[in-house]
């Protein structure tokens, strides 16, 4: 082989050679100094700089009245009210043969869905005699008291039965019935109304056993003439079944907190629930972290990219936790990044029969396109005792908007209409699209709609310990008052100071619509006490 060939082969071999191509491990300090963060995570515990806490309705909990077992009971100081309504005009709901010429119904019959505990209840009876009176029906279904309606000048449309009676419901086996004998005045009023076939008859049952955890679930509630001792759901005696209101059976179980108790709780009731929305001061947290980790600010284009948070666990201490059953309950932490917001308002209808007032939610055309909507969502307000009947119309949206105040939904070609009863000054929040949330409220002068466009889907951080189980520390059960929630995902963006970031802590919803849960934070002004972070500075910090 001549020298030329040897040179060629040697150079080719050398050019392709690779001696040791493991990643280099030398020069970490040098890289760190030149802005390539190569340190492992650092950790620290920080105060959470809370600037706002508010309770908002639990989103997406189906709470249409007339679905699931009928519930009545109490849990700690909270209770579940049962409102049942009978449509006296609806002849299909009555046992027509026996009621003909014999219009006296004396008992409220409660048929046990399962073995129930004994309860002491307070019962109130109302007759809504005219079409104008029936306007108060949504308010009663929403849990408003007649006194609240009276404050709103609605007492003229309500006709109390002038009876407020206390009853002891015995413990029942599954399928057993108990009968509440109604006072004479009520029976007389009902008989008269049945004869005329006018209006609705409403019974409101509240528990008297505050402080206990008793509850009863019923398969059905009917008005009957006498005790037939029947174990069948269909009485052979004179009977009137629950009415139908907005396509749903006329009953509602409503979660109530005692008067004067804080509304800042994490709750799950058959009629909906409550979540806590918490806003933070990012600058304070940022400065704490800089001090603890000993690093300087790193900003690019006005954004702060000093830290990337690998793990964040926020600790909350609760004063009381009441939960249905013995199984631990999980929480979810939803996080929201606010991109934009706006407030729209319109005159509110001030009296009955006033025309619908339309309040468009003026989100931008760009957002409308991004959401897949055709036009801006429209909200129509009409007057009702104690509040407003509200319709939300959405184009190109097929799902309804279930909230604790939903009455009914309907679809008309490409349009979905959801009906609500909105109590006076109550706030109702729902999402008209995945990235647009809307809050409405109204007083007697103005109706408001505030909207937010959201930059991140409010999906909870996984609280998994392993593939199939939730971290025990992130769960609640009776007596367990401390929880540590994994909330890392939005926290980095909070530090970016890009937008307002909110955490929303809510109970995991249960498959059983009668499950109840209430957790009262020890400090309702902060909810979370501290956050334990593992963080590191960003690669290329000074690049």
Binding site for another protein (CB under 8 A): 2-4, 7-8, 11-12, 14-21, 23-38, 40-41, 300-303, 305, 308-311, 462, 464-467, 471, 473, 486, 488-490, 492-493, 496, 498, 534, 536, 538-540, 542-543
Nearer to another protein, 19 or 412 (CB): 19
Question: By three-state DSSP, how is residue 338 classified?
Answer: strand
Nearer to another protein, 51 or 539 (CB): 539
Q: Can you tell me the distance from the alpha carbon of 36 to that of 416, in angstroms, rounded to the nearest whole number?
A: 53
How far does Cα 299 stand from its chain's mean position? 38
Residue 389 near residue 374 (C-beta atoms within 8 A): no
Nearest of 86, 121, 283, 284 to residue 197 by alpha carbon: 86
Nearest of 71, 109, 59, 130 to residue 332 by alpha carbon: 59
Please measure the distance between the N-terminal and C-terminal CA atoms of the chain and give it in whole angstroms.
53
CB of 511 to another protein, least distance (A): 23
Q: What sign results for the dihedral spanned by CA atoms 447, 453, 459, 460?
A: negative
CB atoms under 10 Å from CB of 10, counted, come to 10
Nearer to another protein, 146 or 483 (CB): 483
Nearer to another protein, 5 or 413 (CB): 5
Nearer to another protein, 133 or 486 (CB): 486
Q: Can you tell me the distance from the alpha carbon of 336 to that of 318, in angstroms, rounded to the nearest whole number?
A: 23
Nearer to another protein, 300 or 319 (CB): 300
Q: Can you tell me the distance from the alpha carbon of 542 to that of 131, in angstroms, rounded to the nearest whole number?
A: 72
CB of 537 to another protein, least distance (A): 10
Q: Can you tell me the distance from the alpha carbon of 510 to that of 324, in angstroms, rounded to the nearest whole number?
A: 10
Nearer to another protein, 226 or 465 (CB): 465
CB of 536 to another protein, least distance (A): 7
CB of 313 to another protein, least distance (A): 10
* CB crowding 186-223: b at 16 or more within 10 Å, else e: bbebbeebbeeebbbbbbbbbbebeebbbbbbbebbbb
CB of 456 to another protein, least distance (A): 10
Nearer to another protein, 211 or 302 (CB): 302
Three-point CA angle 440, 66, 167, nearest 5°:
105
Nearest of 452, 470, 453 to residue 461 by alpha carbon: 470
CB of 506 to another protein, least distance (A): 21
CB of 87 to another protein, least distance (A): 53
How far does Cα 484 stand from its chain's mean position? 22
CB of 369 to another protein, least distance (A): 20
Nearer to another protein, 20 or 353 (CB): 20
**Which residues, at least 6 apart from 131, have a Cβ–Cβ distance to it below 8 Å?**
none
**Which residues, at least 6 apart from 114, have a Cβ–Cβ distance to it below 8 Å?**
69, 174, 217
**What DSSP designation does 268 have?**
E
Nearer to another protein, 145 or 473 (CB): 473
CB of 47 to another protein, least distance (A): 22
CB of 465 to another protein, least distance (A): 5
């Amino acid at each position: 082989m001549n020298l030329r060939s040897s040179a060629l082969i040697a150079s080719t071999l050398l050019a392709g050679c690779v001696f040791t191509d493991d990643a280099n491990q030398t020069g970490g300090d040098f890289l760190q100094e030149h802005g390539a963060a190569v340190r492992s995570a650092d950790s620290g515990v920080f105060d959470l700089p809370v600037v706002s806490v508010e309770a908002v309705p639990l989103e997406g909990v189906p709470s249409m009245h007339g679905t699931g077992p009928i519930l009545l009971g109490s849990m700690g100081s909270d209770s579940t009210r049962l409102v049942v309504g009978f449509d006296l005009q609806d002849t299909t709901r009555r046992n027509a043969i026996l009621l003909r010429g014999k219009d006296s119904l004396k008992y409220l019959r409660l048929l046990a869905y399962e073995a129930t505990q004994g309860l002491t209840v307070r019962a109130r009876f109302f007759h809504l005699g005219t079409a104008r009176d029936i306007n108060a029906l949504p308010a009663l279904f929403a849990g408003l008291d007649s006194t609240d309606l009276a404050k709103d000048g609605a007492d003229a449309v309500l006709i109390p039965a002038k009876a407020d009676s206390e009853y002891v419901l015995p413990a029942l086996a599954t399928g057993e019935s108990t009968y509440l004998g109604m006072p004479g005045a009520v029976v007389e009023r009902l008989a008269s109304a049945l004869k005329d076939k006018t209006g609705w008859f409403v019974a409101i049952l509240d528990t008297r056993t505050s402080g206990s955890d008793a509850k009863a679930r019923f398969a059905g509630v009917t008005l009957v003439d006498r005790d037939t001792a029947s174990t069948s759901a269909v009485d052979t005696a004179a009977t009137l079944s629950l009415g139908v209101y907005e396509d749903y059976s006329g009953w509602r179980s409503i979660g109530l907190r005692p008067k004067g108790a804080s509304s800042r709780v994490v709750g799950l009731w058959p009629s909906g629930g409550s979540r806590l929305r918490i806003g933070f001061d990012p600058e304070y947290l940022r400065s704490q972290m800089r001090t603890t980790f000993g690093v300087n600010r790193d900003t690019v284009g006005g954004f702060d990219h000093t830290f990337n948070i690998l793990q964040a666990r926020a600790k909350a201490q609760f004063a009381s936790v009441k939960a249905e059953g013995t199984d631990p309950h999980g929480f979810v932490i939803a996080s929201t990044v606010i991109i934009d917001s706006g407030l729209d308002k319109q005159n509110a209808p001030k009296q009955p029969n006033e025309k619908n007032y339309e309040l468009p939610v003026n989100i931008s055309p760009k957002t409308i396109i991004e959401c897949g909507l055709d036009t801006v969502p429209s909200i129509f307000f009409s007057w009702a005792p104690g509040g407003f009947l509200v319709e939300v119309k959405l184009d190109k949206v097929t799902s309804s908007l279930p909230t604790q105040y939903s009455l009914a939904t309907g679809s008309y070609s490409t349009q979905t209409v959801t009906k609500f009863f909105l109590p006076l000054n109550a706030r109702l929040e729902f999402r008209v699209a995945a990235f647009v949330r809307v809050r409405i409220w109204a007083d007697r002068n103005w109706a408001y709609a505030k909207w937010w466009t959201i930059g991140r889907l409010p999906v909870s951080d996984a609280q998994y310990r392993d593939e199939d189980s939730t971290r025990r520390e992130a769960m609640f059960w009776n007596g367990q008052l401390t929880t540590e929630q994994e909330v890392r995902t939005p926290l980095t963006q909070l530090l970016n100071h890009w937008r307002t970031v909110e955490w929303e802590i809510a109970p995991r919803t249960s498959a059983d619509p009668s499950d109840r849960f209430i957790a009262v934070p020890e400090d309702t002004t902060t909810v979370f006490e501290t956050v334990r972070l593992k963080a590191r500075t960003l690669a290329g910090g000074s690049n």
